[in-house]
Every structure is written in structure tokens, then in C-alpha cells.
Structure 1
Amino acid sequence: MTTPLPFHETLDLSLCGSMGRVFRLCRDTVTLAVEPLGLTQSRWTAMIHIDHLQQGVTQQALATSLGIEMPSLTRTVKQLEQQGIIVRRVDEQDKRSRKIYFTEQGLQLLEALRGKMAEVKTQLYAELTTEQLDTMAYGLVQMEANARRCIKHFSGEQ
């Protein structure tokens, strides 16, 4: 008698592949929802990361958080600055570094962005219980930790 496969093994693209597909769909949903605010995917993503890391974050820390190279980030930061959403100031401790702050207009836009994202999350989480969402969240946190350990292992880091 054959034991049936666990549900996660029956997914078309594997669990990790499905997570990637769902991530892209969620990101695209937010991008469409915030389009009326004049924000592209790279801009709203940068704003959310600045907010999460808190104002005064360095460009380098923001690039690391976003998982992108500085040249890619520099273009987005310049665009946000030209729109009057952020300002960059030289770090007093390290003159080579620049810190990012929201302008008053940027803070207002951030509030609107948070509202749109809350609306999208409500729709995306529809028909899922708090228990299901928590289980998913705990699983993702553990998979991230496992992936970081795997990267260290396979790259030869200690």
C-alpha cells in the first residue's frame, strides 16, 4: 500500500516555487493598487523598507534590506527625492554616507500607501484564519533561517 504524498509535495512547482509565484502576484497586486498614488513597484518597496528600517537609514542599509545593488537603489532614491518624497542628508559620523528621511509630503504619501496596503492585505488574507496565517508566518520564518544556514553551508562560510 502506497502512502499518499503530503499536500505540499503535490504542488506544481514545489513549495518554494509556489511561494515565489504567490510573492510576485502579491507584489503586482500592491503595485496596481498604489498606481493612483504615482508609485512604481521600486518606489513603494523602497518607501516601505525606509519606514520599516526607520528614518535616517543609510542608503547602504536600505540596499541591503532590499537585496539590491547600490546603483539600482540610487536611481530609485533619486526619483523619490525628485518627487519630494524623501531627502538625503550627509551622515555626520561618516561623511561618505547619506541618510534618508521622509519629507512632510512623503509622510503623507506613506500614510496613503499604508492604507492601500492594508486594503490589499485584507483581500489577500480573505478566507484564511488567523491560525492559518500564523502557521504560514512561522513556517516562512523557519524556512528563511534554514535557507540562510544552507547558503553558509554551500558557500563554505563557517
Structure 2
Amino acid sequence: MTQALDTLRDLSLAEQLGRLHRLWRTAADVALTPLGLTQARWTALWKLNRLGDHLSQKTLADALEIELPSLMRTLGQLEEQGLITRHCCQHDKRARIVCLTPAGKALLAQMEQRIITVRQQLLSGISEPELRQFEQLVQRISSNALAQLDPHRPS
């Protein structure tokens, strides 16, 4: 009986984490919609910027944890908006490199301010030690999940 209750409690935690993720993303979406960005577009721009720009489409898709064909449409839309450019890689003509344009970099500055505001609002009332502990716990859970999915992966 205790094991069944523990299982339910674990499922509840997973559901809460999933809900937290959805709520956080929705709050960011609401803040970024006035900039003309869908979730797919802003997450691609954000990840491209965080990984250092001048990235292959494949690397960006892997970092976003989506399939390359799913990313292609979003990149086309970002290119039409003048926020990125794509060109062939010098070392591998099959690969395409994604770069931020000056307009993309300017938009990212606006995005960053809005995302910082959302983060501050969502973390309101949480102390720095509480936040650090939560981050450590989330990292530990993530590491455990990765180890379970790929037992041969080094920790």
C-alpha cells in the first residue's frame, strides 16, 4: 500500500513539473506575442543566441530536441522576417549555417528584457537559497532520467 502511495506521489510530482513547464512557457508566450513571435520562433531564436550564433541547422534542432524537418519551417519564417540568414557551411556543403541578423539581435534584446521580467514575476517570493536548492534538485532529477534512458552515458 505504501509503495502505491509513493508511486502516486511521484506521478503527482511529474504532473506538477509538466504543468510548471507549460505555465512558464505560456507566460513567456504572452510576453513575447506583441513582438510577433510564436513559441517555435522565439525558442529557436533564444536557443540560437544562447549557443553562440553561426550554428548548423542540425545542431540547433538537436539543441531544441526537435527533428530537423520540424525546425525548417520555423527557420524559413524567421528568415522571411529578416531575423536570421542561412548559408552553406564551408566545410560541408550539405550543412546549412544559421546566423542572427542585426534585426534578430535587436529583437533578442527586447525578448531578453521581457523574459527577465517574466522570470522575476514567476520567482517572486522565492529566496536565493530556495531557488538554488530547487535548481540542484531539478538537475539531479534530469541526470537520473538521462542515466535511466541511456545507462552507458557517462554522468
TM-score, normalised with respect to structure 2: 0.90
> Is 2:81 the partner of 1:106?
no
Equivalent AA in structure 1 for residue 117 of structure 2: E
In the TM superposition, what whole-angstrom CA distance separates every residue of 1:66-117 from its partner, at most 9, and x where no partner exists?
A: 1101111001000000000000111101111011111111110000000100
Alignment RMSD: 1.9
Q: Which residue of 1 aligns with 2:28?
A: 30
Change (3 A) 1:144 1:10: closer
Q: Which residue of 2 aligns with 1:147?
A: 145
> Is 2:46 the partner of 1:48?
yes
Q: Which residue of 1 aligns with 2:63?
A: 65
Equivalent AA in structure 1 for residue 122 of structure 2: L
**1:128 Cα offset (Å):** 0.4
Moved over 4 A (4+): none
Q: Distance in 1 between matches of 2:142 and 2:77?
A: 31
Q: Distance in 2 between matches of 1:21 and 1:115?
A: 24
Q: Which residue of 1 aligns with 2:121?
A: 123
Gaps of 5+ in 1: none
TM-score, normalised with respect to structure 1: 0.88
Q: Distance in 2 between matches of 1:15 and 1:103?
A: 41
For residues 11-30 of structure 1, the aligned pairs below 5 Å read: 13-30=11-28
Equivalent AA in structure 1 for residue 83 of structure 2: I
User: Size of the alignment, in residue pairs?
Assistant: 149
Q: Which residue of 1 aligns with 2:131?
A: 133
For residues 3-18 of structure 1, the aligned pairs below 5 Å read: 13-18=11-16
**1:152 Cα offset (Å):** 1.4
Gaps of 5+ in 2: none
**1:10 Cα offset (Å):** 5.2
